[in-house]
Chains A and B, each alone.
Chain A
Amino acid sequence: MITRRGLLGAGAGGLLLSGCDRPSVRSLLESAAGLHEDSQRLIAGKQALAREFPESAMSPQFRVNGSREVADSGYRAHLAEGFSRWRLAVDGLVRRPLALPLAYLMALPQREQITRHDCVEGWSAIGKWQGPQLSRVLDLAGLLPEARYIVFHCADRFGTAPYYESIDLVDAFHPQTILAWRMNGQPLPLVHGAPLRLRVERQLGYKQAKFVMRIEARTSLAGLYGGKGGYWEDAGDYQWYAGI
């Protein structure tokens, strides 16, 4: 009986100590992670909206996270000019590649939403975001049938690695997925990702790409940087689906 308990203890201990170092343990744990996306999509459906809040519920100060500025000289030139000659590139698997000025994005029909930003670390901040829905921009470009993912290429870098993120078409065409150029009633501040930041409200903070320069439609995420679909997914092993 003691032996059996000892065995159980040793088994549990061995499992714990080996941690994620063992590829077999890791792949087992990651297969559970796949369940989260499927079960949440099943429960929420494609169109369930993230909660929106009244102005009175907003964080007095919205925590700045990730890159606070961008070193790239091309970006800095645009920043100095107030992004007046900056263009958002939309390319990849689209019928009509686009280069959209900020003024054009501002002139599209707008969506304003006060939502909660949930960081993977556990903190939350509530802010007001405004911009055109991503779906409008994608419809302008016309996705080709083989497009499965939308990738956001950003101006900021961590060391030598550029920041990027990606979402699938369910979230890309979700009504609350917007390209925000305005935050809390002001043009998007530099520290929060000027001139343009993705808001994909049903997922965690690292999906909310800042300093978005280019939107690319792709069939697969393989072959792009680390192949896992985002900077933190590649560098920190965060899960690509960040609904949990």
Chain B
Amino acid sequence: MRDGQPIAKEPGGGDLVRRHRLSTRLWHWLNVVALTVMLMSGLMIFNAHPRLYWGEYGADPDRPWLEIVADDKDRGVLRLGSLAVETTGLLGVWSDGEGRVRRRAFPGWATIPAGYDLAAARLWHFAFAWVLAFGLLCYLLWSLANGHIRRDLHIDAAEWRPAHIWHDVKQHARLRFPTGAAALRYNVLQKLAYAAVLFVLLPLAIVTGLAMSPGMDAAWPWLTELWGGRQSARSLHFIAAFALVGFVIVHLVMVVLAGPFNEVRAMVTGRYRLPGERGR
């Protein structure tokens, strides 16, 4: 318990407390599987046409804003607008498990299946799309009903204050994480990150994915028009996927920094040991 603060029965550093609800834990581990399959099968689908465009149409005669290809000197190249980065060994040109040189955008270790197979990648991608989309829908509805969103993710006026956000940024930069009872609550950067994933990135990935389907385009034309066309939707789908990859990387780094055993235990069993006061 902190000195001078009237927190009568609040748990303090060192206590084992309930942290994550069952719904959060189930959804978390379901997403570990679903997002992994979606990303890796998606990279294989990208390999079928490793170019991204803006607008409604876009094919080989048109100008991409991003492409990952083998150039005329057989080097792997990532081109972003007028910028070109050599990526031989990682992207564009790489060697497979048997040492054979492959000329595809993403390497076999990053794709499902490992060898080029667009039909199989589509089967994986579209089957797990149901898991991802309905998992998200159920979790959002459940979290609305049980108060998780209101209680744990809602950012109040005090937290929106730039000074408060800046304070949190500085604390993160110094790797000083909340301790004791303060660690029970998400801090504002956590809330922003989780809200971005829940309400922006996952829905964006799902909706832009649907927008690429010619059948959906006939059913709900506004869904594709909203993004400025099928190729824009495909570009945004790719951007959303890599923003999610970025989130996962930061998320994993934070788990490691905050104490991986305690954090993973909390996400498996729901029980979390509150970190003690600094200096103890």
Contact = CB atoms under 8 A, between A and B. Distances in A.
A122 to B, nearest CB: 4
Most buried by A among B212, B215, B230: B215
Given A60-B61, A125-B59, A244 B216 contact: yes
A202 interface: yes
Contacts of B147: none
What does DSSP make chain B's interface, helix, strand, loop or mixed? helix
A200 to B, nearest CB: 10
B36 to A, nearest CB: 7
Contacts of B33: 12, 15
Interface string A136-162: 000000000000000000000000000
B67 to A, nearest CB: 12
Contact of A201 (B62, B120, B218): B218
A239 B122 CA distance: 9
A1 B264 contact: yes
A119 B49 contact: yes
Interface stretch (A50-58, A100-108, A183-191, A214-222): A50-58
B173 interface: no
A61 B60 CA distance: 9
Contact of A123 (B37, B58, B130, B224): B58
Given A26-B123, A63-B59, A124-B230, A4 B268 contact: yes
Contact of A30 (B48, B62, B123, B213): B123
Contact of B230 (A1, A5, A8, A118): A118
B159 interface: no
A66 B119 CA distance: 16
A44 B130 contact: no
B37 A35 contact: no
B59 A244 contact: no
B86 interface: no
B32 A124 contact: no
Contacts of A202: 214-215, 217-218
Contact of A116 (B37, B57, B216): B57
A75 to B, nearest CB: 26
Interface string B50-90: 01000011111110000000000000000000000000000
A45 B216 CA distance: 11
Contacts of A94: none
Contacts of B40: 16
Interface string A200-244: 011110000000000000000000000000000000111100111
A169 interface: no
A198 to B, nearest CB: 14
A99 interface: no
Contacts of A4: 268
Interface in A1-26: 1-2, 4-5, 8, 12, 15-16, 19-20, 26
Given A43-B219, A51-B224, A124-B56, A28 B127 contact: yes
B107 to A, nearest CB: 15
Contacts of B45: 122
B186 to A, nearest CB: 22
B46 interface: yes
Contacts of A33: 123, 126-127
A50 B218 contact: yes
B119 A12 contact: no
A121 interface: yes
Given A63-B60, A116-B56, A16 B112 contact: yes
Interface in B95-142: 112-114, 117-120, 122-124, 126-127, 130
B20 to A, nearest CB: 13
B214 A203 contact: yes
B276 to A, nearest CB: 21
21 contacts: A5-B268, A19-B114, A20-B123, A33-B126, A43-B220, A44-B218, A44-B219, A45-B219, A51-B218, A63-B60, A120-B122, A121-B48, A122-B49, A123-B51, A125-B57, A201-B214, A202-B217, A236-B119, A239-B123, A243-B215, A244-B214
Interface of B: 29, 32-33, 36-37, 40, 45-46, 48-49, 51, 56-62, 112-114, 117-120, 122-124, 126-127, 130, 212-221, 224-225, 230-231, 234, 264-265, 268-269
Given A44-B218, A116-B56, A239-B122, 5 more contacts: A19-B120, A40-B215, A126-B56, A126-B57, A243-B213
